[in-house]
Amino acid sequence: MLTTKNLAPGTRVFIREPQFLLTLRSHTGAIVRKDTYLDEYIVRLDEPAIYHHPDGTQEDLPEIRESAANLEALPPGR
């Protein structure tokens, strides 16, 4: 089983649950780097997510910060 601790850049991951105010077009992406926050990673998504600003506007996000607890490492080739 693959672990989410110390995920290397390029590791393919599945995002279990989207963050509040975020709509995922794809639940998969690749690790860019470990973030400066504890157990969080920057993930480049396969398709940009839609961030819903509180004022009603929307923004496409090609990368998001995600908790390691919300990531599942995928086997190579997926």
Query: CA angle, corner 42, sides to 75 and 49, nearest 5?
Result: 90
Poorest-pLDDT segment among 5-14, 22-31, 49-58: 5-14
Structural domain contains residue 39: yes
What's this model's pTM, rounded to 2 decimal places? Answer: 0.88
Q: Two tokens at 12?
A: 């393919």
Q: For residue 36, what are the domain limits?
A: 7-46
- Classify residue 16: in a domain, yes or no: yes
Domain annotation covers residue 13: yes
Provide the number of structural domains found in the chain.
Answer: 1
Task: Say which residue the tokens 């672990």 belong to.
Answer: 3
Q: Is residue 72 part of a domain?
A: no
pLDDT tens for each residue of 18-43: 888 999 999 999 999 999 878 899 99
Residue 73 included in any domain: no
